[in-house]
Amino acid sequence: MSVLRRQAPLDSGLLGLFEEAASNAERAAVLLREMLAGFPERSELARDVLLCEQEGDRITHDVMQRMSSNGTRPGIEAGDVHALAGAIDDIVDHAEEAADFLGLYGIEAPMEQAEELSEVLVGATGGVTRALDALRTGDDLASRLVAIHQLENEGDRVSRDAIAALFAGHIDPMVVIRWKDIFESLEEAVDACETAAHVIEGIDLKRRR
């Protein structure tokens, strides 16, 4: 005879903070995509991406505050709360890092692969928002997680192709150094979306047991 365990309901306020964080990450990705598409004329958008990064930090702080002060059970293990908040925060941090590098390194013009990666990032952050929505409503989560994994694979492919392009022939070594950093930041942002997807999947599995 199986022992049925009653799961505590998900803390709606906590889930709301995660949704807010994911929406903020999606906004940062959209801004970065706009910035790259219109670079260097739209380089001022780096400031808006930085504001997203600060907003992300604020939301993460609120999540931690809620965990430490809330008397009610969150319905999610503390470790998962910490991991999910960290992963979503990482998305924005890496996106902001890429935007910052564009100015810091005196980049003169974008590269097509960077624009492609930012497009992938917009898709993956949107996927995280939709996955959180499924976690709240109980809708089909698996297909949304698969979509994030596919985008992460696409990000890997574009990133490898971009780095290979930097090492083909006699490219200016300074271009190689600068763009390698930027591609890596963009890829890490996409990777963080997959990390968030893994944590959401783990939360869902634990709730179904």
Partner 1 sequence: MIRLAIVDSDSGFVRVLCKRLEAMSWDHRVLAAPPPVEELVAIRLNAMVVDPAVLGPHAWEFLERVGAALPAMGLVVCTGRSTVAQRVRGLRLGADDWITKPCHPEEVVARVEAVVRRRRRASTPADVGPLVAGELEIRADQFQAFVGSQSAELTRREFELLHLLAEGRGQVLQREEVYQRVWGYQMARGDRSVDVFVRKVRSKLKALSPEWNYIHTHFGIGYRFQPETSDGEPADVTAPGADVPGPVPDAAPADSRPADGEPGAVYEGAVHELGARLASSA
Contacts with partner 1, residue ranges (CB under 8 A): 39-40, 105-113, 162, 165-166, 168-176, 179
User: Which C-beta is closer to partner 1: that of 43 or that of 150?
Assistant: 43
The nearest distance, CB 4 to partner 1, in angstroms, is 56
d(C-alpha 173, C-alpha 152), whole Å: 28
Residue (of 102, 139, 115) closest to 33 by Cα position: 115
User: Which C-beta is closer to partner 1: that of 23 or that of 185?
Assistant: 185
The nearest distance, CB 109 to partner 1, in angstroms, is 4
b (16+ CB within 10 A) / e for 130-150: bbbebbeeeeebeebbebbbe
The nearest distance, CB 41 to partner 1, in angstroms, is 8
**Cβ(88)–Cβ(18) below 8 Å:** yes
User: Which C-beta is closer to partner 1: that of 10 or that of 165?
Assistant: 165
The nearest distance, CB 39 to partner 1, in angstroms, is 7
The nearest distance, CB 140 to partner 1, in angstroms, is 36
Cβ neighbours around 98 below 10 Å, total: 28
The nearest distance, CB 191 to partner 1, in angstroms, is 21
d(C-alpha 110, C-alpha 102), whole Å: 9
**Cβ(11)–Cβ(70) below 8 Å:** yes
d(C-alpha 95, C-alpha 93), whole Å: 6
User: Which C-beta is closer to partner 1: that of 63 or that of 114?
Assistant: 114
The DSSP line for 42-93 is TTTHHHHHHHHHHHHHHHHHHHHHHHHH--S--SS-HHHHHHHHHHHHHHHH
User: Which C-beta is closer to partner 1: that of 31 or that of 162?
Assistant: 162
- Whose tokens are 């996955």? That residue is 131
